Structure 1
Amino acid sequence: MEWQDEGIVLGARRHGESSVIAEIMTRQRGRHLGLVRGGRSRRMQPVLQPGNSVQVTWRARLDQHLGTYQVEPTALRAAALMESATAVYGVQALAALLRLLPERDPHPHLYEALGIILENLQDPQSAGELFIRFELAMLEDLGFGLDLTSCAATGTREELCYVSPKSGRAVSREAGRPWADKMLSLPEFLAEGSRKSAEGDSLSAAFDLTGFFLRRHVYEPRGMEVPDARSGFVNAALKALAANN
């Protein structure tokens, strides 16, 4: 079997003396592993760094085999991503999120989103907002999507400022007032049709929001801890954003 696709490198681990097993998020075939012979060579090591975009050819006798990759670079951004803590942690946190998905399960919209985030990781405000939307998309694809479009109690689309921790649905200011201390905050920039951009406090609230549902529905049921890279990214993004304001 053989196919070609474009992809983004998530990681690589040593295999034997000179090869590596590359983990690549491909456009059409999702997160896919493959053996890269000579992957530890001087030519290939810089290519197989997380965050780089590549063109791959995968070959195997049977579809269920590990198979081998032939890899050609298309965008080498890994060196630039090493220049800030936000970008370093961001790449690691994004890869950790994508590892929650079944291998070889196509998610072309997440592939597109990943590329956009990687191009904006040097800007903490853009990176933070895009990361939140990526986590929301991950929750949706994992079957735990949030409904932030209308109030769970009244159906109104106005003044949505809370999220119910039980249902994951938005709640309006008036309907949620009696239980405000038990509600999660809904940052205005996440409201449907909002033209607001993320700021320090709203971004922090958004990280708390997605983090809560990821822990409840994804990490805890799997007996997993939230990856340290996420905390590193959150702290670095908020710190950089505060320093720029």
Structure 2
Amino acid sequence: MRVSLQPSYILHSRPYRDSSLILEVFCAEHGRLSLVSKGARRRSKGGSSVALLQPFIPLLLSFSGRSEMKTLTHVEPAGVAPQLRGERLFSGMYINELLMRLLHRHDPHPQLFANYGTALGELGDAEQVEVCLRRFELGLLDELGYGFSLAEDGLSGEAISEDGWYHFSPDCGLVAGVKGANPARPAYSGAELLLLSQGKYGGEARSVARRLMREVLSQYLGSEPLKSRDLFHGRSPQGGESQ
């Protein structure tokens, strides 16, 4: 297998053997896969390519090999990386970790790849980081086949009632319920859900979106906590929370 100049992003990297790197990569046409960059750390003092082997940089990667792990043969920039600092950097790390945890290897998602590039750009520019994250999460769920409607009861098929309360069911999506009936099962206001369905994340709807998406994603992430979320909380003395 030989692939040339594939639009890609690096999600994560780690040292391998004495001087190489293992790269976890998200490609437009090949999905998530692992590449080994041989001698990358040995070339770090004088080589220019290693400086590109970082998350969030749009890249064109060439690689080859017959085994599960391919060998990186060429890298060049395909654009300018967004300037992510502070909360925006942690949010980018969070998105990368979601992809690492939820994407199957060698499963192409060209629309999700485009959504990812859009999300990175929005993290660099948008005033509302949370809105960017919620949009990406919803798009990710849709791409993976886990999407659900914010405007319709997934069990009855009826429209969400502004006066109603709803629970999330992994099998159906949002279903009618009663607020406070079960403390272990969060309830969400129909009025706020309808705002979210219209892309309106102001006021209390922002908090509802965060709580809802955390509950939904936990169904698919399993019991292991997200490292980026723990890191964000450990570095956020103001107590802000967007993930």
Supply the distance in 1 between the matched residues of 2:132 and 2:105 (Cα, whole angstroms). 23
1:127 to 123, 126, 129: 129
Q: How does the TM-score come out when normalised to structure 2?
A: 0.78
Q: Is the 8 A contact 1:56 1:71 kept in 2?
A: yes
Offset, 1:26: 0.6
Query: CA 1:111 to 1:163, structure 2 compared with 1: closer, same or farther past 3 Å?
Result: farther
One-letter code of the match for 1:230? R
Query: CA 1:148 to 1:39, structure 2 compared with 1: closer, same or farther past 3 Å?
Result: same
One-letter code of the match for 1:165? F
One-letter code of the match for 2:62? T
Q: Which has the higher helix share?
A: 1
Please, what is the CA RMSD of the aligned residues?
3.0
Offset, 1:211: 0.7
Query: CA 1:92 to 1:135, structure 2 compared with 1: closer, same or farther past 3 Å?
Result: same
Task: State the secondary structure of the residue aligned to 2:168.
Answer: coil
Supply the distance in 1 between the matched residues of 2:29 and 2:165 (Cα, whole angstroms). 36
Q: Is the 8 A contact 2:134 2:209 kept in 1?
A: yes
Task: State the secondary structure of the residue aligned to 2:108.
Answer: coil
Supply the distance in 1 between the matched residues of 2:152 and 2:161 (Cα, whole angstroms). 8
C-alpha offsets along residues 104-142 of structure 1, whole Å, 9 cap, x if unaligned?
Answer: 111111111111111121456543122112222333344
Supply the distance in 2 between the matched residues of 1:53 and 1:180 (Cα, whole angstroms). 45
Supply the distance in 2 between the matched residues of 1:231 and 1:189 (Cα, whole angstroms). 29
Aligned to 2:224: 225
Offset, 1:150: 1.8
C-alpha offsets along residues 48-80 of structure 1, whole Å, 9 cap, x if unaligned?
Answer: 1111110011111x2x341211211223426x2
Task: State the secondary structure of the residue aligned to 2:159.
Answer: coil
Query: CA 1:67 to 1:154, structure 2 compared with 1: closer, same or farther past 3 Å?
Result: closer
Aligned to 1:90: 91
One-letter code of the match for 1:53? P
Task: State the secondary structure of the residue aligned to 2:52.
Answer: coil
Where structure 1 has 5 or more consecutive residues not aligned to the other structure, the ranges are: none
Query: CA 1:189 to 1:30, structure 2 compared with 1: closer, same or farther past 3 Å?
Result: farther
Aligned to 1:108: 110
Q: Is the 8 A contact 2:23 2:36 kept in 1?
A: yes
Supply the distance in 1 between the matched residues of 2:49 and 2:203 (Cα, whole angstroms). 40
Q: Is the 8 A contact 1:160 1:170 kept in 2?
A: no
Supply the distance in 2 between the matched residues of 1:156 and 1:187 (Cα, whole angstroms). 11
Query: CA 1:16 to 1:51, structure 2 compared with 1: closer, same or farther past 3 Å?
Result: same
Please state if 1:37 is matched with 2:38. Answer: yes
Supply the distance in 2 between the matched residues of 1:22 and 1:14 (Cα, whole angstroms). 9
Give the length in aligned residue pairs: 224
Aligned-pair identity in percent equals: 25
Query: CA 1:56 to 1:155, structure 2 compared with 1: closer, same or farther past 3 Å?
Result: same
Supply the distance in 2 between the matched residues of 1:28 and 1:232 (Cα, whole angstroms). 31
Where structure 2 has 5 or more consecutive residues not aligned to the other structure, the ranges are: 182-186
Please state if 1:190 is matched with 2:196. Answer: yes
Supply the distance in 2 between the matched residues of 1:205 and 1:144 (Cα, whole angstroms). 19
Supply the distance in 2 between the matched residues of 1:89 and 1:125 (Cα, whole angstroms). 15
